[in-house]
Amino acid sequence: METKTIKTDLKCCAMKSKKGYCPKPLEAVSDYLSKKWTISIIITIGNFNKLRFNNLLKRLGTTAKTLNNRLKELEREKIIKKEIFNEIPLKVEYSLTKNGKKLLKSLHPLIHWAEKQ
Q: What's the mean pLDDT in 39-58?
A: 96
Per-residue confidence (pLDDT) for residue 20, from 0 to 100: 81
Q: Which domains does the chain have, with CATH numbers?
A: 24-115 (1.10.10.10)
Rounded to whole angstroms, how far apart are CA atoms 104 and 111? 10
pLDDT digits (tens, 9 = 90+) for 2-36: 444 444 455 666 777 777 877 777 888 888 889 99
Residue 81 has pLDDT above 50, yes or no: yes
Rounded to whole angstroms, how far apart are CA atoms 114 and 35? 18
pLDDT digits (tens, 9 = 90+) for 49-77: 999 999 999 999 999 999 999 999 999 99
pTM over 0.85: no
pLDDT digits (tens, 9 = 90+) for 90-106: 899 999 999 999 999 99
| Contact predicate 41/77, CB 8 Å | no
Rounded to whole angstroms, how far apart are CA atoms 41 and 61? 11
